[in-house]
Amino acid sequence: MERKNAWEKYDNAEMEQVFQLADRYKSYISDCKTERECVKETVRLAEAAGYRDLKAVIEAGETLKAGDKVYATNMGKNIVLFCVGQEPIEKGMNILGAHIDSPRIDIKQNPLYEDSSLALLDTHYYGGIKKYQWVAQPLAIHGVVALKDGSVINVVIGEDDSDPVVGISDLLIHLAADQLDKKGSKVVEGEDLNVLIGSMPLKDGEGDKVKANILALLKEKYGMEEEDFLSAELEVVPAGKARDYGIDRSMVIGYGHDDRCCAYTSLEAMLDVENPRKTSVCILVDKEEIGSVGATGMHSRFFENMVAELMECTGSYSELKLRRAFTNSKMLSSDVSAAYDPNYASVNEKKNTAYFGSGFVFNKYTGARGKSGSNDANAEYMAEIRRIMDKHEVTFQTAELGKVDQGGGGTIAYIMANYNMEVIDAGIAVQNMHAPYEVVSKADLYEAMRGYAAFLIEG
């Protein structure tokens, strides 16, 4: 089957659009490195596009009608946007879903210690990472410290050019003979991912003076005590901004493409929707990288509850109608796909692999060991998707995540399919997936955004 390269079809004007979208995206992922930061920025962009907080609508007892735009957030880590359709919600919604958590290194609840006049933070990594990739590079700390008085302190250290950064050391090559004989999963071990944050003793202090100095700085800057780490969520992530990649600037390198590249392009498509036939939905969830668990992950009832609230606001809620709304819905469950990499060609089967520049990726199924854990979309739904993409001249490709029995992965698709709705995995091809710096193609970002927009109109 012929595989088209999207770059070849763009005229100058469209080329400009491709690059402008990539610029907006770079700024989103440079500013938003945690799920909380993504939610905050998404609220800002949504409100600028005319979206209102569903909570305020409910409290005011307002009625919503076709064309109205609302959003709801969940514990600051998960958000859903709705643009009310002309058809009743029970006829089904067109849903875009993506996740906004990314692999990273979380700081433990009792993290701070001093060893040999160095102050370090103990960590527990989040999601699937190759631990050896996270050492010897500048890292930033993002997150919150919740205090007993109910206030929440926002922390970002390492992003401003004048900020210090932190990091995890690696062993010098000169003394690494034993280390280099270890297998990859053991070269750097989880319990050794300790973040170095200081080396200067507090003058006239006693005991662990370097640790005491760090605590004094934390007290001065954030008003926090050592005990307050107990109620903190601090995430260690690569420091610095996303950048153009390749001498031709055709790609973007940055932290957290998985899955913010799908989240951001879905969001842009969503914010462009005006007065749709079916209710348009964009849900951005947390915790996908650790199994979609918790109140802010896709397994949570949050989404279901918010659709119920939305139906109530349009005067159409009943338990049966809510169930029908889900059953009649269609979804693009969006997550990244593995981009073909000539350096590691052997893990892919070339006919069924995603390529940079070949556009929006559809995975009929994901999973591992005989499709286990996969959603496996229906052929009829795939046919409908092909019709929509072709009608809107979206360049798309189909793929599997690697060769049969090479490995695999899961997404949120199967969770939504439990509602009995049509779901297919869709998304963008990524190189270096789950590494501190991942790479995507700008043409693929653009085609995905157009694909999401086409789905919301036609689905």
Q: Which residues bind Mn ion (CB under 5 A)?
A: 258-259, 335
Distance of CA 187 to the CA centre of its chain: 28
Distance (Å, whole) CA 409 – CA 433: 12
Query: Smallest distance from the beta carbon of 434 to Mn ion, in angstroms?
Result: 6
Distance (Å, whole) CA 32 – CA 200: 31
Tell me the three state secondary structure of residue 172.
coil
Query: Smallest distance from the beta carbon of 8 to Mn ion, in angstroms?
Result: 29
12 φ/ψ angles, rounded to the nearest 5 degrees: -60, -40
114/258 with CB nearer Mn ion: 258
Count of other CB atoms within 10 angstroms of residue 131: 19
Query: Smallest distance from the beta carbon of 437 to Mn ion, in angstroms?
Result: 14
Tell me the three state secondary structure of residue 233.
strand
276/427 with CB nearer Mn ion: 427
Query: Smallest distance from the beta carbon of 259 to Mn ion, in angstroms?
Result: 4
Tell me the three state secondary structure of residue 318.
coil
Query: Smallest distance from the beta carbon of 270 to Mn ion, in angstroms?
Result: 19
276/409 with CB nearer Mn ion: 409
Query: Smallest distance from the beta carbon of 200 to Mn ion, in angstroms?
Result: 38
213/353 with CB nearer Mn ion: 353
314/411 with CB nearer Mn ion: 411
Query: Smallest distance from the beta carbon of 282 to Mn ion, in angstroms?
Result: 16
137 token code pair: 């590079």
Distance (Å, whole) CA 156 – CA 34: 10
Bridge partners for 156 per DSSP = 142
> DSSP labels for 387-448?
HHHHHTT--EEE--SSSTTS-EE--SHHHHHTTT-EEEEEE-EEESTTSSSEEEEHHHHHHH
At 112, the amino acid letter reads L
18/449 with CB nearer Mn ion: 449
Bridge partners for 426 per DSSP = 334, 362
259/447 with CB nearer Mn ion: 259
Query: Could you tell me the sign of the dihedral formed by the alpha carbons of 294, 112, 226, 198, in that order?
Result: negative
DSSP one-letter code for 167: B
At 39, the amino acid letter reads V
Distant-in-sequence, close-in-space partners of 203: CB < 8 Å, separation ≥ 6: none
36/211 with CB nearer Mn ion: 36
422 token code pair: 């049509």
DSSP one-letter code for 65: -
Query: Smallest distance from the beta carbon of 410 to Mn ion, in angstroms?
Result: 9
